[in-house]
Structure 1
Amino acid sequence: MLADPALRADPYPLLAQLREASPLSLMDGALVVTGRHRDLAAILRHQNASSERQRSMVAPSGVPTGALSFLSLDPPDHTRLRRLVSSAFTPRVIAALRPRVTEVVDALFARVAEQGRMDVVDDLAYPLPVQIISEMLGVPREDDEQFRVWSGLLARALDPQFADPDPQRMAGAETARDEFDRYFSRLIAQRRAHPREDLLSLLVHAESEGDKLTESELLATCVLLLVAGHETTTNLIANAVLALLRNPDQLDALRARPELVEGCTEETLRYDAPVQLTTRVARGPLPVGDLELPEGGVVLMLIAAANRDPDVFDDPDRFDITRKPGGHLAFAAGIHFCLGAGLARLESAVVLDAFARRIVAPRLLGPVEYKANFTLRGPARLDVGFDGVTT
């Protein structure tokens, strides 16, 4: 049901039904589906909830075999790899990026003003995060469009195969992964010979210093940082702009009170989560509500449903940027809480502030086109008309 393209524009009525019926036991108990906030909050922190999908007794989900980034590992390997990367995403480092993010956003809005039109995805939501993460890694900007193709193929592979079995989709992801590996192998060799002041050199140096980062781990980490560093933030920004346009009272509130911009980001994360679902595999008895998963069983956690759970959020289907922040699970929880959450929040806040201040009389033009994947859900195209762009 979740894979039905007809639901991509508005999956929330179905998600509400699944939440009310949660937990659902399928495949003779090997798969449990839940959309209840209390279930997800507990599972994401449970010691028997494994991110190593290869443990699964049902069809695997996630990126192709071999792409074992720390996102798909448990401790101690997860702890070791995440620690190597975390220094690039501390609050101090992210705060120091604000001037650069603002500079990039200003340049994007200047281009929009020259064009006299705007596709929010192509003109704002995609180029900002991919430029920032590319600069952090030390990846050439001229390769952005190639990354977009490869990243899109990998993002499609995140849809669970048991929900959307498609051999062509997985074959495309394998090809993209191979292309990424070849690409980063060349850059890694360059950084070994000539280190720079970038994250890629930091990772290569850590590996060369014997910090137990293997070549395959290094490649997987680079791919994860590049893909995760822009795919989800692209969706966050586009979803936020769309919600503001569909709720003009909230756009007016943001214009009148710019300090609400962080609240706007948090409400978007709750109201229209960029990552709609995730999975965990039981590496021991794993309670899911009043059910218990056996070893190797899979729990499909509907993040987007949990973020609109009326047991946690008042009037959950209403977009309200003045809502008291907190409680959503858009960045997961526990040891796998999103490493890039701070960067995503910064990029979103800078874009939304500029959009509210600078775009005169914005309005949706035509229907919203959505990407094919449903795990990382967001518009593929979002055309917006306006009367002008102020400085």
Structure 2
Amino acid sequence: MTPDTLLERITDYANRANPWPLYEELRESGRVVPQADGSFLIGHYHDILALLHNPRISVDGRNSAKEFEEERRPPFLRLDDPEHHRLRTLAMRPFGPPHSPARVDAMRDAIARITEELVASLKDRERFDVVDDFAYPLPVTVICRLLGVPRTDESMFSEWTDVLVASADIGPAEDTAARDKAAMQAQQEMGHYLLDLADHRKGEPTDDMLSAFVNESDPELRLSADELAQTAILLFIAGHETTVNLITNGVLTLLRRPDQLERLRRDPGLLPQAVEELLRFEPPVHMRERYPLADLEVAGTTLPQGSTVVLALASGSRDPRRFKDADRFDPGRPDIEHLGFGSGVHLCYGAPLARIEAQTALGALIPRLGSATLVEDPPPYRTNAMLRGPRHLMLDVKGWN
């Protein structure tokens, strides 16, 4: 195997359960590793961080030299400033500071209630799936309440989300026409639903984000219909998909390390720090693509304008040049400036909410996991290489209470 096949091997499903030796090989192969498909793979922490903050590199696939077709403008997650800043600022108004500083914090009690309801539903079970029975319904219920989606309609979003997440995967050059067509249809259906829901809130606002968007009184601060649909879809997917993986990866990591599980049971005050360490050690987001707006030099290698640059965030968060004992999970680690939420202007919009959900979920599970055992290790993983996490995590839980 040669370094120019690393992206192909990292994204190969056969390596999904344990990509870490490949990330080590990536870091040892150099700071910029050209790939056979013409892309460039970067796995060192400081190089990734610098590029995430570099305004000469784009997130917008329309700046790629390869053929790129999209009928609609991308959501703000995949737009550059100044348009990214405008849309992100408008999206933040009903979500966080300075206009809605209490929105996320006010969800703490609701998140705790939802968590306890889910835990209670598992009582007297001898086996359950952490993903389907706990880690998925928690953030989905939370984001639906934030957006104002009726509980009876929550199940509709699962199929749409699976299709859209699959379309956002990273891999070597391949024919994605069928996948992209399915994603476009799912996006249109989901967008129409959310716009119709928002339209019913016009003039009759409720305490949710769709109502806030559609009842904004200042025309200069109002999202267009297309922008509202794109933003709501983005918030729904980003608001739960990565959190599912964060919670599930956390349970798996702790069950593999009974000493650290017991440490957190004895000292629950370590939990916020443990979640940050999980974001470093087993992050839900492994890679992001970027496109130089001009020829850009990194470590003596030129990244041509329009080329595809794959930032291996997960590799950077385990870079031994940045983190001592980088392959060791340590909930008490004092320095955890991970790349789990990205960095720079595209720092994860929902990071505060994800942290609360993960801390609440793991805080409820940890006291009960002492008697749990993994049914299968490694578990079956999702096919997506970019958003990595188990598809199922079955536990035997005799004595669960």
The TM-score range, normalised by the shorter chain, is over 0.9
168, 192, 206: which one aligns with 1:196: 206
374, 379, 391: which one aligns with 2:390: 379
Name 2:4's counterpart in structure 1. Answer: none
1:47 equivalent in alignment to 2:58 = no
Identity percentage of aligned residues: 37
Q: In 2 relative to 1, CA 104–164 (structure 1 residues): closer, same or farther, beyond 3 Å?
A: farther
11, 18, 24: which one aligns with 2:26: 18
Structure 1 CA distance for aligned equivalents of residues 113 and 200 of structure 2: 29
Displacement of 1:193: 4.8
Contact preservation (8 Å) 1:59, 1:162 = no
Contact preservation (8 Å) 1:89, 1:340 = no
Displacement of 1:328: 0.8
- In structure 1, runs of 5+ residues without a counterpart are none
For the residue of structure 2 that corresponds to 1:380, the secondary structure is coil
Quick one: which amino acid aligns to residue 269 of structure 1? L
Structure 2 CA distance for aligned equivalents of residues 59 and 161 of structure 1: 15
Displacement of 1:176: 1.3
Alignment of 1:144-159 (within 5 A): 144-159=154-169
Structure 2 CA distance for aligned equivalents of residues 370 and 67 of structure 1: 31
Structure 1 CA distance for aligned equivalents of residues 398 and 36 of structure 2: 54
Structure 1 CA distance for aligned equivalents of residues 231 and 316 of structure 2: 29
Contact preservation (8 Å) 2:286, 2:313 = yes
Alignment of 1:112-261 (within 5 A): 112-160=122-170, 162-206=172-216, 209-211=219-221, 213-261=223-271
Quick one: which amino acid aligns to residue 45 of structure 1? H
314, 317, 321: which one aligns with 1:307: 317
Name 1:3's counterpart in structure 2. Answer: 11
Q: In 2 relative to 1, CA 363–303 (structure 1 residues): closer, same or farther, beyond 3 Å?
A: same
Name 2:283's counterpart in structure 1. Answer: 273
Q: Greater shift after overlay, 285-294 or 256-265?
A: 285-294
Name 2:103's counterpart in structure 1. Answer: 93
**What is the CA deviation profile of residues 174-206 of structure 1, one whole-angstrom value per residue up to 9, with x for unaligned ones?**
221122122112112212253222101111223
Displacement of 1:157: 1.0
Quick one: which amino acid aligns to residue 365 of structure 1? V
Displacement of 1:365: 0.8
Quick one: which amino acid aligns to residue 386 of structure 1? V
Displacement of 1:251: 0.3
Structure 1 CA distance for aligned equivalents of residues 278 and 174 of structure 2: 26
Q: Greater shift after overlay, 216-225 or 135-144?
A: 135-144
Q: In 2 relative to 1, CA 349–385 (structure 1 residues): closer, same or farther, beyond 3 Å?
A: same
Q: Greater shift after overlay, 136-145 or 190-199?
A: 190-199
**What is the CA deviation profile of residues 187-236 of structure 1, one whole-angstrom value per residue up to 9, with x for unaligned ones?**
12212253222101111223873425222111100000001000000000
Q: Greater shift after overlay, 94-103 or 113-122?
A: 113-122
Structure 2 CA distance for aligned equivalents of residues 289 and 132 of structure 1: 44
Displacement of 1:274: 0.3
Q: In 2 relative to 1, CA 5–161 (structure 1 residues): closer, same or farther, beyond 3 Å?
A: closer
Alignment of 1:347-386 (within 5 A): 347-367=357-377, 368-386=379-397
Quick one: which amino acid aligns to residue 54 of structure 1? R
Contact preservation (8 Å) 2:170, 2:287 = no
Q: In 2 relative to 1, CA 360–309 (structure 1 residues): closer, same or farther, beyond 3 Å?
A: closer
Contact preservation (8 Å) 1:3, 1:163 = no
Contact preservation (8 Å) 2:213, 2:222 = no
1:327 equivalent in alignment to 2:327 = no
**What is the CA deviation profile of residues 291-325 of structure 1, one whole-angstrom value per residue up to 9, with x for unaligned ones?**
23222122100011111101011111111111124
- TM-score normalised by length of structure 1: 0.93
Quick one: which amino acid aligns to residue 372 of structure 1? T
Q: Greater shift after overlay, 359-368 or 90-99?
A: 90-99
For the residue of structure 1 that corresponds to 2:206, the secondary structure is coil
- TM-score normalised by length of structure 2: 0.91
Name 1:296's counterpart in structure 2. Answer: 306
Structure 2 CA distance for aligned equivalents of residues 346 and 19 of structure 1: 32
Displacement of 1:54: 1.1
Contact preservation (8 Å) 1:261, 1:349 = yes
Contact preservation (8 Å) 2:128, 2:395 = yes
Alignment of 1:37-116 (within 5 A): 37-58=45-66, 60=68, 65-66=71-72, 68-87=74-93, 88-90=95-97, 92-116=102-126
**What is the CA deviation profile of residues 269-308 of structure 1, one whole-angstrom value per residue up to 9, with x for unaligned ones?**
1111101100111112333333232221221000111111
Q: In 2 relative to 1, CA 165–272 (structure 1 residues): closer, same or farther, beyond 3 Å?
A: farther
Structure 1 CA distance for aligned equivalents of residues 182 and 220 of structure 2: 34
Name 2:3's counterpart in structure 1. Answer: none
Structure 1 CA distance for aligned equivalents of residues 36 and 127 of structure 2: 49
**What is the CA deviation profile of residues 334-374 of structure 1, one whole-angstrom value per residue up to 9, with x for unaligned ones?**
10000111110110001111111234411101241111111
Structure 2 CA distance for aligned equivalents of residues 356 and 245 of structure 1: 10
CA-based RMSD: 2.0
